[in-house]
Amino acid sequence: MSDSKPQQTGSHPKFRRLFVHNLSFDVTLPEIKDFFNNSGVDHGFIDIFRHPTKRDQNTGACYVEFRTIETAEKALEVCKEKQLKGRQVFLQLDPEDKHINQWANRMKFNLTFDNRHKVRLSMLGNDQNQSRSQPRNRDQSAPQGSEQRPPQQQGPAPIFGADHKPMINDLNDLLCSVVYFSNFPWRTNEQEIKTLFETAGRVRNVVMIKENEDHENEKKRGKFTGKGKIEFFRARDAHRAIILLNQSTLHERAINVLISQVIYQNSE
């Protein structure tokens, strides 16, 4: 008789599915299926998240549901270092929906689930806009001939180009190819930081801010402060890094990634 542990097949689907993201915006369902099949993993249902306002475009993320918990864990192990269409694939077990909520916040999406726990996305701020756009009563009616402007959405929404990649959305950022980061774990090394930011584009330079060698605390002398800056070859990749990485989790810490506020001016 075999003494192997029986596979758990009757658990809730959320325990046997993976949240998969950092995919190309033009990835197709057959390509995702081949990715797991070629890795020797028997996948089940795949739910690609479509953009809420651009239905012919996906969001670079999906759920992949497996028949057993063991198969989901195997997929997490064998696929975690692999790439699909030149991009490293991020996979996470997420039964409490923590990672998908962080992703939705970064992408400016409202996230809800239907009764089968399928993902439903809408643009952040749409609910507020709908409630504010209701007609006012007579006592609060606008002057005759005036037009009520729709409320402005708070914060910039990502703009996607023809290649389905985020573009810059402020002319002041046009020449800026530098982002600042903070709240990184002190044990993070330069190569790990570079690899992380290369998910957004080619990195020209990594600067890690360290404590002074004459710091009053001897243990902190020359140690990484968790802050620094990244210079990209292209400004659009700097903006993409903010969308992908700001408020994401690194070694159980929520990291900050912000655009440089330096304005480049020609000297007179």
**Domain-wise residue ranges, the chain:** 13-123, 166-259
Q: Is the pLDDT of residue 264 over 50?
A: no
pLDDT at 231: 92
Q: Is the pLDDT of residue 144 over 70?
A: no
pLDDT band at 232 (very low <50, low <70, confident <90, very high): very high
Q: Which of 25, 7, 22, 19 is nearest to 64 (CA)?
A: 19
Q: Is the pLDDT of residue 162 over 80?
A: no
CATH superfamily of 13-123: RRM (RNA recognition motif) domain (3.30.70.330)
For the record, the structure tokens of 157 come out as 């929404």
- Fold agreement between 13-123 and 166-259: yes
CA distance readout (Å), 145 to 116, 138, 189: 48, 15, 62
CA distance 239 to 134: 35
- The CATH topology of domain 166-259 is Alpha-Beta Plaits (3.30.70)
pLDDT at 174: 54
HSE of 111, CA atoms in CB hemisphere, 13 A: 18
State the chain's mean pLDDT as an integer. 76
Check if the beta carbon of residue 60 is closer than 8 Å to that of residue 121.
no
Q: In this structure, which amino acid lies at residue 104?
A: A
Listed ranges 136-140, 166-170, 188-192; the one with the highest mean pLDDT: 188-192
Rounded mean pLDDT, 188-200: 93
pLDDT in tens, 92-120: 888 888 888 888 888 888 888 776 677 88
pLDDT in tens, 173-184: 456 788 889 999
Q: State pTM to two decimals.
A: 0.46
CA distance 13 to 86: 30
Place of tokens 């929404």: 157
pLDDT at 175: 64
